[in-house]
């Protein structure tokens, strides 16, 4: 559908076009867990007065102008079309509702957005689970922005539980150890200079091969099948103490990101070994997402939703690194700390090589000469050829409330990607919530969770004893 030039507003960003194309349709699901049963009577007013004014994209659809350029067009939002209040079987156990909620999220993860209305929706679950008295689910299309932008939008609707007149605040870590996200973005800070031409060419060349010709092995965490993004997922979460993570960080003299990534890699290899001994040393890589905003963390929700001309601008501002998952038979791999140190060395080298910058330039060149659809196909292959994606966000230090509903916990998941395994992390009130999205029927979610928890305990016990 085409519209006159005067009827449309800002152009859709290149990344926004990639994420809403024939090759990719990627969304972010955010889950808020309420301490009390949910009263949905304030929903309409909250959406109209607080949520919609945050950014014009929440009131816009994606269209083509007379020149064929995709743009955001403002439309009248019919809020009722964006709100779902599902009915579950009544009077069941918490365990039953845990499973039912997981199945419900799996279903909405696969459902596409109608292109005739703004690309977001809210699901209000009025049934108790093991983690909450009620659950609020936001589903937002990734074309509207990355996790940094969309998380800021959601947090704009919440207040501090202890004092609503004060702003939510976020943990501040030193540059070398910040848990800093962006949509996902697990590592931030693109270097202003590149450390070595050899590293640049090596890392960029390897990234190019991984995105075009070289696939990871098929393993218990990667089916490698076409259309995996259309299969059902299982969603499992686990919680770790940030104080314990900081203890490991201090003992090993590494960053918080190093600790988290090393534990995830170690737990993943333990799962692969437990599922198929032959896969313990299979060729497997992770896509680690990198926040490319020129920021050193963020201090407030307002900073996350600033106008586009600021350096924390709205949108999709991220790159990615191909990081090999260390093998269990590698040097010193019997020591859990090996995985933390290995992750630190590899990511530090790749982050400083400038490969992220060159990858971004490659995507822009592809878009210019081949068009956004072909570029989206390239991104699809990049995801499909790797085994997993890691991303995280910083959450508030204080407990939040939404319309007088205290938030016990929250997490997010990226859905619609052609991978069998996606892991996201978010900090909140001194804890790190890890969410794991797994292809149903391929990965055993409970066994995988157990392996990650085992890896955490082993790294923590080894680090504390050595410290």
In angstroms, the CA 342 to CA 323 distance is: 10
- pLDDT confidence bin for 346, thresholds 50/70/90: confident
Residue 139 tokens, joined: 């589903």
In angstroms, the CA 185 to CA 312 distance is: 13
The angle subtended at Cα 116 by Cα 111 and Cα 121, nearest 5°, is 45
Per-domain residue ranges of the chain: 5-466
Average pLDDT of the residues of the chain? 83
* Alpha-carbon distances, residue 209 vs 118, 197, 212, 291, 359 (angstroms): 36, 18, 5, 23, 12
Kindly report, residue by residue over 175-188, the tens digit of the pLDDT. 433 334 444 443 34
pLDDT at site 193? 45
pLDDT at 421 over 60: yes
The angle subtended at Cα 380 by Cα 377 and Cα 384, nearest 5°, is 140
Residue 106, Cα to own-chain centre: how many angstroms?
16
Residue 235: helix, strand or coil by DSSP? strand
- pLDDT confidence bin for 6, thresholds 50/70/90: very low
pLDDT at 311 over 70: no
**Tokens 């204080």 belong to residue:** 398
Residue with more model confidence, 305 or 381: 381
pLDDT at 34 over 90: yes
Percent of the chain topping pLDDT 70: 79
- pLDDT confidence bin for 447, thresholds 50/70/90: very high
| Closest to 372 in 3D by CA, of 121, 62, 57 | 62
Going by their DSSP bridges, the two strands 83-84 and 120-125 should be labelled as parallel
5-466 belongs to which homologous superfamily?
A: Nonribosomal peptide synthetase, condensation domain (3.30.559.30)
Out of 35-44, 91-100, 211-220, 285-294, least confident range: 285-294
> Do the Cβ atoms of 146 and 320 come closer than 8 Å?
no
DSSP β-bridge partners for residue 140 = 28, 120
Q: Tell me the average pLDDT across 316-320.
A: 58
β strands within 292-387, DSSP E: 318-324
- pLDDT confidence bin for 312, thresholds 50/70/90: very low
In angstroms, the CA 266 to CA 272 distance is: 10
DSSP state at residue 20 = B
State which of 154-163, 193-202, 366-375, 432-441 shows the largest mean pLDDT: 432-441
Kindly report, residue by residue over 261-307, the tens digit of the pLDDT. 999 999 999 999 999 878 878 889 998 876 554 444 445 555 555 54
Kindly report, residue by residue over 103-120, the tens digit of the pLDDT. 999 999 999 999 999 999
- pLDDT confidence bin for 201, thresholds 50/70/90: low
> Which residues does 457 contact at the CB level (< 8 Å), separation at least 6?
none
């Amino acid at each position: 559908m085409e519209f006159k030039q005067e009827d449309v507003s800002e152009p859709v960003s290149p990344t926004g076009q990639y994420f809403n194309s024939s090759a990719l349709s990627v969304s972010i699901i955010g889950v808020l867990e309420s301490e009390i049963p949910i009263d949905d009577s304030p929903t309409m007013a909250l959406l109209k007065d607080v949520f919609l004014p945050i950014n014009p994209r929440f009131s816009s659809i994606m269209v083509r102008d007379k020149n064929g350029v995709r743009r955001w067009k403002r439309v009248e939002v019919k809020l009722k079309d964006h709100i779902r209040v599902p009915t579950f079987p009544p009077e069941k156990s918490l365990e039953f509702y845990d499973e039912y909620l997981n199945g419900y999220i799996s279903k909405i993860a696969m459902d596409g957005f109608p292109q005739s209305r703004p690309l977001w929706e809210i699901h209000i679950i009025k049934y108790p689970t093991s983690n909450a008295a009620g659950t609020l689910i936001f589903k937002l299309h990734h074309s509207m922005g990355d996790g940094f932008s969309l998380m800021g939008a959601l947090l704009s609707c919440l207040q501090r539980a202890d004092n609503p007149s004060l702003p939510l605040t976020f943990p501040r870590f030193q540059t070398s150890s910040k848990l800093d996200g962006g949509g996902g973005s697990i590592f931030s800070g693109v270097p202003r200079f590149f450390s070595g031409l050899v590293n640049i060419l090596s890392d960029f060349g390897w990234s190019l091969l991984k995105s075009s010709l070289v696939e990871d092995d098929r393993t218990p965490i990667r089916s490698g099948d076409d259309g995996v993004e259309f299969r059902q997922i299982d969603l499992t979460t686990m919680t770790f103490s940030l104080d314990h993570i900081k203890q490991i960080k201090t003992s090993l003299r590494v960053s918080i990101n190093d600790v988290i990534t090393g534990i995830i890699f170690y737990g993943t290899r333990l799962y692969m070994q437990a599922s198929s001994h032959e896969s313990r040393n299979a060729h497997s890589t992770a896509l680690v997402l990198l926040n490319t905003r020129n920021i050193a963390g963020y201090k407030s929700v307002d900073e996350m939703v600033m106008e586009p001309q600021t350096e924390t601008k709205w949108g999709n501002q991220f790159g990615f690194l191909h990081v090999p998952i260390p093998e269990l038979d590698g040097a010193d791999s019997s020591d859990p700390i090996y995985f933390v140190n290995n992750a630190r060395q590899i990511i530090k080298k790749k982050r400083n090589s400038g490969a992220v910058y060159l990858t971004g330039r490659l995507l822009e060149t592809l878009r210019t000469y081949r068009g956004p659809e072909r570029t989206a196909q390239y991104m699809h292959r990049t995801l499909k050829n790797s085994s997993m994606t890691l991303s995280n966000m910083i959450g508030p230090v204080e407990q939040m409330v939404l319309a007088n509903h205290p938030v016990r916990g929250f997490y997010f998941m990226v859905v619609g990607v052609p991978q069998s395994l996606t892991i996201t992390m978010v900090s909140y009130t001194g804890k790190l919530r890890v969410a794991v999205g797994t292809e149903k029927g391929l990965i055993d979610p409970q066994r995988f969770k157990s392996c990650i928890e085992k890896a955490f305990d082993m790294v923590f016990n080894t680090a504390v004893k050595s410290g």
